[in-house]
Each structure stands twice: as structure tokens, then as C-alpha cells.
Amino acid sequence: MSHPAWDWKLSDLAEVPKHGRTVFSCFSCGGGSTMGYKLAGYTMLGNVEIDPQMMRIYRKNHNPLHPFLMPIQDFKALPNDQLPPELFDLDILDGSPPCSVFSLSGDREDKWGGEYSFREGQVVQRLDDLFFDFLDVAEKLKPRVIVAENVRGMMVGKARGFVSLVLSRFRELGYRPQLFLLNSATMGVPQKRERLFFVAAREDQALPPLQLEFNDPPVLYRDVRSGEGKPLNTSTKTYSRWKRKRPIDLSMGDVTEREKGKASDYNTIILKDQKVSNTLASSSWFLRSDEPCRISDMDSIRIQTFPSDYDFLDSDVSYVCGMSVPPLMMKRIAEQIHLQW
């Protein structure tokens, strides 16, 4: 009996037929997109990552040929003769520029143009500049295709002006950009994760428009549920709210809104067996609906379609998963790019 696509191991990659197309990944984090490209038969040439811990995890699991531990601004400033020649004959330049300033939560417009360290110990940066730094790398390397992933919030309200600037920059560089709003739940991923993908082909290739349409049946939480979760401390507010929840409640915020007229703790999600999981974010707290505990690490791994033998070293599993692109989501996109282009 064959395994479902979300149930896989890093060791399975040795069996994937290679077609010779190459990828280089920026803002690689734990390598979610890297694994997606590998599952689709691509050869990964290396990565750029600013976070030392994420780079340790990436190297441990992916053994990159050309890893660059540095801010993307430093990478783009490297003289061309200090870069591997194969990076200048690249099929895909991949990147997921950090996007928290475009998240739909909080006072996001107030954050634009501000400088933030998006994790303790990292360099303070203007996060809304990073997309253009990534496109500067594209200008330097001139790949055949550029793939960039970001949050749905970039398409909402004032942020659409930012998207227009990004599309204009793609065109200035000689690329034909396309925008795709995709939900991972339609792509075989056990999670409702809406993400915006910019896919751009270099003008000189005369390629047809890319078609990306997915309609896989949903994978429910009960399908991936596995192992014991971490029990809630019975003296906490979260535990008492969990005890008072009703069948219609989808988060602790629903409980507090009903009881106090104002939602708080809405990031603590109640996962139900018969539903598809919510988006797994780096700060997510997912609780099982039928027992007072957080979901298990294996639940997080499966919901994000990470391999079961992935080595997280000493990092929090849900944090690394939540910071990454689901490998199966990127695999489906990468397959279509290879098939159609």
C-alpha cells in the first residue's frame, strides 16, 4: 500500500528521478521550499539564510553545495567572481522574503517602513525592503524563472500598491510576472494555508502563461493525527477556557468573545478531527478539541508536510515548520513549472 504524499522521509529523496533543472533559494529557513523542489526532481545548488540556527538546521538536513550565511544585502553585494559559476546559469531563483509587515493581523500599515528584527539575535532590517533586495539578486543572477512566496495580506488594502511596485520591478528586469493566490488545502496539504506566489519567466524565452489550478480532496486533521500532545497546565487560563469551550468554538478567542465581549487568545486554535487544520504559523498554539493538550510534534510535522525523519536539532518543531513553505505545496508548483515550461 502506498503512503499518502504527506507521509514521507528525507531518505525518499534518493529515489526521486532528477531532470537536471537547478534552483537556488533565498530566505531558506528550514528548507520547506528546498524539499519541495527536490521532491519535484530539481537539483538544489545552495541557499542564503540570515539566521545561524536556521542555517545549522538547513545544513544538517539538506547538505547544501553552496550555503551563504549572511543577510541578503551582503549576498547581493558579493563580487560575481566570488560566486559559483553555476549560479549564473540558474533555472529557478526561489525566495520567501519575510512578510510579517503584510500579515492581516495587527496594525500592519503602522509597521511599513519601520525596522524590525523578526527574531531575537538577527540583524534589524526594513522587512518591506527585502522583496526588492531579492529582486536585486535576480538582476545579478538572471535566472530563467523567479518564484517568490508571500502572504495573502499583500493583496489586501493599501498593500496592493506595494504589489504593483514589485510587478513593475519584475518587468524592469525583463521578466513576465504572474500572480497566483493558492490554498495548500487544495494541493494535498493537511492545512488551510493561503499564500501568494509570484512566478516570472525571463522575457527572452517566449514561454506560454503558466497555469496553476489544484483541486485535491481535503486532508482532515484526523487523517494526520498522531502521538501524544503536551498536556495543558490545569492552573492556566487557557485550560479553564478549553474546559468552557462549546462545539462551535474554533479558538480560545471565540470563548473570550462570548464571555467578555472581546476576543483575546484568538491565536490559540482548537483543532477538530473532522476539519482541515488552520495555517500553522511560527507562533501558533493548536489544541486538540477532545483532550486538553497541544497537538503533538508529529502532528505539526505532518500538517506542514515535513518529512518524518527531519532533524530539528534543539529547535521548536512548530516554529521551524511554521516559518517554512510546506514542501508538498512547493512540489506541486515546481512540478507544473517543469511540465509546462
User: Collapsing DSSP states into helix, strand and coil, what is residue 69?
Assistant: strand
Any residues with CB less than 8 A from the CB of 323 and at least 6 apart, and which? 29, 30, 54, 282
Phi-psi region of 265 (alpha: psi -120 to 50; beta: other; left: phi over 0): left
Interhelix angle 252-260/237-244, rounded to 10 degrees, is: 80
Q: Is 99 designated active site?
A: yes
* Distances from the Cα of 180 to the Cα of 54, 121, 143, 242, angstroms: 28, 33, 20, 37
- Give me the helices (H) in 106-251, please: 108-111, 130-141, 159-172, 221-224, 237-244
Q: From the centroid of its chain, how far is CA 303?
A: 12
| Spatial separation of the C-alpha atoms in residues 120 and 302, rounded to whole Å | 27
Name the nearest CA neighbour of 310 among 8, 69, 5.
Answer: 8
Cβ proximity of 95 and 27 under 8 Å:
yes
Query: Of residues 26, 99, 293, 321, which has the active-site annotation?
Result: 99
* Cα–Cα distance, 38 to 17 (Å, whole number): 9
Contact (Cβ atoms closer than 8 angstroms) between residue 159 and residue 179 = no
SS3 state at 86: helix
Nearby residues of 237 by Cβ (< 8 Å), 6 or more positions away: 265
Q: Catalytic site residues? A: 99
